[in-house]
Amino acid sequence: MTFLFVFLFRYTRFVVHFITGVFLYRPAVSEKPLFTHRDVAVVIPTVAPHTEEFLRCCETVLQNHPQALLISTVGPGLQSEAVEVIRAQGFEARYPNTRFEVLSGAQANKRRQVMLATDRLDAANTPITICVDDHVYWSPNFLASLLPAFDDPKVALVGTNKKVVRSTSGGLWASFTNFIACLYLCRHNFQIRSEPYLDGGVFVISGRTAAYRTEIFHAPSFRQAYTNEMFLFGRLGPLNPDDDNAITRWVLKNGWKIRVQYTDECRIVTPLGEPHKFYGQVLRWTRTTFRSNCTSLRTPHTWVHFPWSVYAVYFSGMINFALFWDPLLVWTLMRTTLYTTALSSDSDGLSKSQLITFMIVWILASKLVKIAPHFVEHPFDIFWLPAYYGWAYWHSFVKLWCALTFFDHGWTGRNLAQVEEQSGAHDAN
C-alpha cells in the first residue's frame, strides 16, 4: 500500500500532463485574428544595451513591425548608450512605422523598469504589451502566431515556445552547462503547455517573452502587487526577482485566463548557460519556486479554483526531490507482497531482479519525456545523458539549500548594484 501511494503521488501528475501536453494541447489559430502587429507595444528592460545580444533582440523584434518599442534602462549613462545604439543601427529610419522611446529609471530593477515603460502606453492604442528580455530573439512571424491567443477576451497572458541556443564552444564544462540550460527551457515548455489544461493553473509564464493585455499594467491592484511585493508575512522585500511569477499569480487570482502558443513561429531563442552566470541563475530560479508556490498556497482562491494545480503544480514543485523519491520508490517496492513472493530467478514469472530493473527503467525513462524534443534536434547530445541524470540528483541538494535560504532574494547571476553605480543612477538621484 505504501508503494502504491508513493508511486501514484509521484507519477499521477506525470501521466496526466503527458496526455494533456502531448495529445490534447492545441495552440490558438485564427485566419482573421482580432489583433495585429499595429496593436502591439514591446517593452525591453535592459542594463546592457551595448551587447550584440541586445542589438539582435531589437532587430528581430522590429522585423515583426510592432507599433511601439520602448527600451527601459537605468541611469543617464545607459540611457545615452541605448539612444546611441538605436541611432547607430539606423533603426528609426529602417522601421519608420514603429515608435521608439528610450526611458531611464533610478534602479536596476526589472519590475520598476517594466512599469516605467508601461506607464507610457495607452491600452486603447496598444492593447497588447509584450515584455522581452534583452537577449531574446524572435522569428519573423512571431507576432502573427502569437496574437490569435488573444481572440478569447478572457485571456490576459500568453506564453511562448522557448529554446536555448546550443553552444559547444568554450570547453567541455561550458558545453555541459549550456546543455543543462537547454533542458531547463525544454522542460518548462512541456510544463506550461500541459499544466493549464485541467483547471487553468500554471506555475509561471516565463518573462523571457510574454504577452499581456496592456490594461492589467494600469490596474491599481496590479501596480501595488507587482512593484511592492513582500514575502515572509510582509517582513522581507520588496522583491526584484520572481517578476514573472508575480504577474502569473495576479492574472490567475483576478479571474483571467492564460494560454500558451507552442508553435515553431512563436518560438523565442536565447543564449543561456554561461558557467559564470548560470549557477547563480539556478539558485535564483529555485528559490523563486518556494517563495512563489507558498504565496499561491496561502491564497484561498488557489484552492477553490485550481485544485489540480495545488497538487500537481504548487505542492509537487516544492517537494519534488528526485534524490529522495526515487530510492523511496525502490525501497517501498522491495517491501510489497509482489516483491517478497517473487522468485530469485525468472523461471516462473517475474523475478526480484526484474521487478527492480523495471522500476529503475521506469524512473529513468520518465525523466526523458519532458526533454525528448531537445534530443530530436540535437541527437549527439545523448552523450551527455548520464551526466544529466547526475545533475538531476545533484539538483536535489541545490533545491534543499534553496528551501533553507528562500529569504535570499538577490538577483544572483548579475551585480545590479554595480550596474547602478556605473550607469550614474545614484548621481541622478
Question: Using 50, 70 and 90 to split pLDDT, how confident is the model at 125?
Answer: very high
State the pLDDT at residue 427: 59
Q: Are 4 and 334 in contact (CB under 8 A)?
A: no
State the pLDDT at residue 116: 96
In a domain, 402, yes or no: no
The answer, yes or no, to whether residue 416 has pLDDT greater than 80, is: no
Each residue of 102-113: pLDDT tens digit? 999 988 999 999
The answer, yes or no, to whether residue 169 has pLDDT greater than 70, is: yes
State the pLDDT at residue 340: 86
How is 294-318 classified by DSSP, letter by letter? HHHHT-HHHHHH-HHHIIIIIIHHH
In a domain, 162, yes or no: yes
In a domain, 149, yes or no: yes
Each residue of 210-238: pLDDT tens digit? 999 999 999 999 999 999 999 988 888 89
Mean pLDDT score, 352-370 = 94
The answer, yes or no, to whether residue 319 has pLDDT greater than 90, is: yes
CATH number, domain of 271, equals 3.90.550.10
In a domain, 393, yes or no: no
Domain count, the chain: 1
Q: What is the mean pLDDT of the chain?
A: 93
Helical H runs in 203-255?
Answer: 215-218, 220-227, 243-253
Show the cell assigned to 64: 515583426
The C-alpha atoms of residue 46 and residue 114 are separated, in whole angstroms, by: 10
Each residue of 340-351: pLDDT tens digit? 888 665 556 678
The C-alpha atoms of residue 198 and residue 306 are separated, in whole angstroms, by: 9
State the pLDDT at residue 53: 96
State the pLDDT at residue 83: 95
Helices (runs of H) and strands (runs of E) counted in the chain? 22, 8
- Residue 115 belongs to what domain range? 12-313
The answer, yes or no, to whether residue 411 has pLDDT greater than 90, is: no
Q: Are 247 and 157 in contact (CB under 8 A)?
A: yes
In a domain, 32, yes or no: yes
In a domain, 334, yes or no: no
The C-alpha atoms of residue 429 and residue 225 are separated, in whole angstroms, by: 25
Each residue of 56-89: pLDDT tens digit? 999 999 999 999 999 999 999 999 999 999 999 9
Is pTM, for the whole model, over 0.85?
yes
Show the cell assigned to 142: 512571431
In a domain, 138, yes or no: yes
Could you tell me the CA-to-CA distances from 29 to 257, 262, 269 in Å, in that order?
Answer: 17, 11, 22
- Residue of 225, 267, 244, 210 lying closest to 40 (CA atoms): 210
State the pLDDT at residue 285: 95
Q: Are 197 and 24 in contact (CB under 8 A)?
A: yes
Q: Give the range among 92-101, 191-200, 295-304, 344-353 with minimum mean pLDDT.
A: 344-353
